[in-house]
Amino acid sequence: MVKKILGAIFALIVLLIAVVFLLGNVWQRTEHGTLDFKAALILKARNAFLKEEPLVAEKLRADGNARAKTLQGSPEEVGKVEDMKIPGPAGEILVRVYSPSGNGPFPVLLFYHGGGWVIGNLDTADTACRFLANRVPCLVVSVDYRLAPEHPFPAAVEDCYAALQWVANNGKKLNGDPSRIAVSGSSAGGNLAAAIPLVARDRGGPNVSYQVLIYPATNLSDLSTDSYRFFGKGYGLLKEHVDFFIRCYLPDEKDRINPYASPLLAKDLSGLPPAIVITAGFDVLRDEGKAYVDRLREAGVETVHSHYPTMIHGFLTMDRLFGEAEDALVEISNELKKAFY
C-alpha cells in the first residue's frame, strides 16, 4: 500500500514537472522572439497574482528592497567593505567602498544603483559591486544618491557628480588611483552613469576614463518606442511604473528634455569616454539603449554594445535566477580591465 502511494506521488510529481516544462516552452515563444524559459515561468506566475495597487514611493521601496534580497545571489567576500559619508551639495551622501584584496593603488569604479530614481539603495547593488571589485580588480564606490519624489531632478545628478569629484580628490586616501576613474549603473543608475560624463565634460572635469551603462534609460521625454509598446505590460518593468518614476523625478516636464536627464537628447556626445552598453531583449528600455549606442558611435565614441536577447529588465541583479547575470558582469569586468590596465 505504501509503495502504491509513493508511486502515485512520484508519478504526480513527474506529471507536474512535465506540464510545467511544456507550458514554459509555450510561454517563452512570443511574437517578439524567444524569452528565457525561467523568465517566462516567473513572469506568468507574477502576472497571475499581481494586484493593481496605487503607486506609492514608500511601498515600492519596501517591495523593491525585499525583492532584491531574494533575487541576488550570495555576496562574495572582498578585501574590505566600508560605509562612509562624503560631502554633497545638500548635506552628506552615504557611499559604500569595496576594496579588493592585494596591493594598490587600484582604479576606481563609481556605481549608481537602479530603481527609477525613486527606489533602491546600496544593498540592492551589493552583489554586482562585490563581483566587479574582485574581478577587475578595482575599488568600487557605490553611491546612495538622493531619491525622488522628495528630491527631484537634478538632485541625483548633483549627488553622483559630487561623488565623482570626491573620488578624484580623495581616491589616494582609499588606495585608489584618481587618474583611472570609471562610472557605472543600471537602469536609472545607467541613466545617471550616462549623464555624469556629460556633466564632467561640460564643467571641465574630473576626467572619466570609461562608462558602463546597464540597460540605461536615455530619453525620459518619450515612452512611445517599439520596446515600450511591446513590453510595457507583462514583462516585469511596467510602462506605468516608468511613467510614475519619471513624474516623481521630473515633475517639471521641461526638465525631461534636459540632456542630464535624457542623455540621448544631448546635441553633442563627442569627447565622452569609451563605453559598454548592456541591453535586454524584453525590456521597455531596449530601444533607447540601442539608440544611445548609435549616437555615441556617430560622435566617435568607442562603444561596445552587448545585447542579451532572451533577458528581461533588471536581470543583472537577478543572479540567483539567471546565469546571464554573471556573463554580463564578466563581460563588463573584461572591458574595464582593458580600460584601466
Q: What is the pLDDT of residues 218-244, one digit of tens each?
A: 999 999 999 999 999 999 999 999 999
* Kind plus residue range of the DSSP H or E element containing 212: strand 210-214
Q: Please, are residues 227 and 313 in contact by the beta-carbon 8 Å criterion?
A: no
Tell me which of 186, 262, 313, 319 is the catalytic residue.
Answer: 313
99 is an active site residue: no
Cα(228)–Cα(221) distance, integer angstroms: 13
Cα(262)–Cα(199) distance, integer angstroms: 12
Interacting residues of 260 by C-beta distance below 8 A, sequence separation 6+: 153, 154, 157, 195, 198, 199
Q: Note the pTM of the prediction, 2 decimals.
A: 0.92
CATH topology for 54-340 is Rossmann fold (3.40.50)
187 is an active site residue: yes
Q: What are phi and psi of 119, to 5 degrees?
A: -120, 180
Tell me which of 184, 187, 209, 227 is the catalytic residue.
Answer: 187
Tell me which of 283, 287, 319, 333 is the catalytic residue.
Answer: 283
283 is an active site residue: yes
Eight-state DSSP code of residue 316:
G
Q: List the grid coordinates of 68.
A: 532584491
338 versus 51: the higher-pLDDT residue is 338
pLDDT above 70 (res 4):
no
pLDDT of residue 67: 86
Cα(322)–Cα(341) distance, integer angstroms: 29
Q: List the grid coordinates of 158.
A: 548633483
pLDDT band at residue 24 under the 50/70/90 scheme: very low
User: pLDDT tens-digit profile of 76-124?
Assistant: 999 999 999 999 999 999 999 999 999 989 999 999 999 999 999 999 9
User: pLDDT tens-digit profile of 147-166?
Assistant: 999 999 999 999 999 999 99
Reported as half-sphere exposure (CB side, CA atoms, 13 A), residue 221 has a value of: 15
pLDDT of residue 10: 52
User: pLDDT tens-digit profile of 162-217?
Assistant: 999 999 999 999 999 999 999 999 999 999 999 999 999 999 999 999 999 999 99
